[in-house]
Amino acid sequence: MKYIKKIMALNSVQKTLAFLIALYIKSVYRTSSFEFKGHRVIDSLVSEKSLFFITFWHGHLAMLPCAWWWEKPFYMLLSQHRDGQLISRVLEHFNIQSVFGSTTRGGMVAGLQILDLIKTGAVIGVTPDGPRGPHQICSMGVLTLAKLAATEEKPIHIVPVGYFIQRHKRLRSWDKFLFPLPFSKGFFHAAEAITITPHDDAETLEDKRLELQKRLNKVSEVEGQILS
């Protein structure tokens, strides 16, 4: 196991793996039929030059790079762990950049980077139950960052996004990772954004955290809505 970890940490190995993973994701997307429900939520925020985060559950990461077609720069908040480095290399194949940090490592530096980026109009992707869970329990982190970035003139919006694909496997990981299979049918789903203002107190943020969690679960529990 120790030798496998050393091999996996090699730059050349990570580059090759990232290329193969990205190639697989693109092949699933190209051989499948996807619909994007609620994309007008993001259309509206982009056209109004609003500042916003995109949030989705950690277990729904696989296909979501294919769902970003807007021209605004997109950054993903990732763990500094080796897995985060690999995901970052995969995302590069989709023109998505990364910010590294978490609640346990590099959080303050990442937070400052995110505040700078979002104020320039970049969109930040966050998995609010990552990097270690609990599964589909929304942490307060993204709401705290949103409040710090919000101003009277420019509140921050948090958009809950999920995806589902008919042909898939559920992995036995903590996040119950949704592993997509090709030649299928699926959709991406964006719910109405939750708006954060600089005046939101702790109680208000907690209410909005619970509402964000509810909406994220709603756009992720779509098995019964696909292929009627």
Annotate 123-158 with b (16+ C-beta within 10 A) or e (fewer): bbbbbbbbbeeeebebbbbbbebbbebbeeeebbbb
What are the φ and ψ backbone dihedral angles of 84, each rounded to 5 degrees? -65, -40
pLDDT at residue number 228: 36
Q: What are the tens digits of pLDDT across the range 106-144?
A: 567 788 899 999 999 999 999 999 888 899 999 999 999
pLDDT at residue number 3: 60
Number of domains in the chain: 1
Report how far residue 91's alpha carbon sits from residue 65's, in angstroms, rounded to the nearest whole number: 7
Please give the share of the chain, as a percent, with pLDDT higher than 70. 90
The answer to whether residue 91 sits within a structural domain is yes
pLDDT class of 157 with cuts at 50, 70, 90: very high
The answer to whether residue 170 sits within a structural domain is yes
The answer to whether residue 228 sits within a structural domain is no
Q: Diameter of the chain by CA atoms?
A: 53
> Side chain identity at 195, as an amino acid letter?
T
With a cut of 60, say whether residue 66 has pLDDT above it.
yes
Indicate the range of 47-61, 89-103, 171-185, 188-202 predicted with least confidence. 89-103
Q: What are the tens digits of pLDDT across the range 6-27?
A: 666 677 888 999 999 999 999 9
Closest CA to 40 of 73, 75, 72, 70: 70
Contacts of residue 197, Cβ cutoff 8 Å, sequence gap at least 6: 147, 150, 155
Which structural domain range is residue 147 located in?
2-223
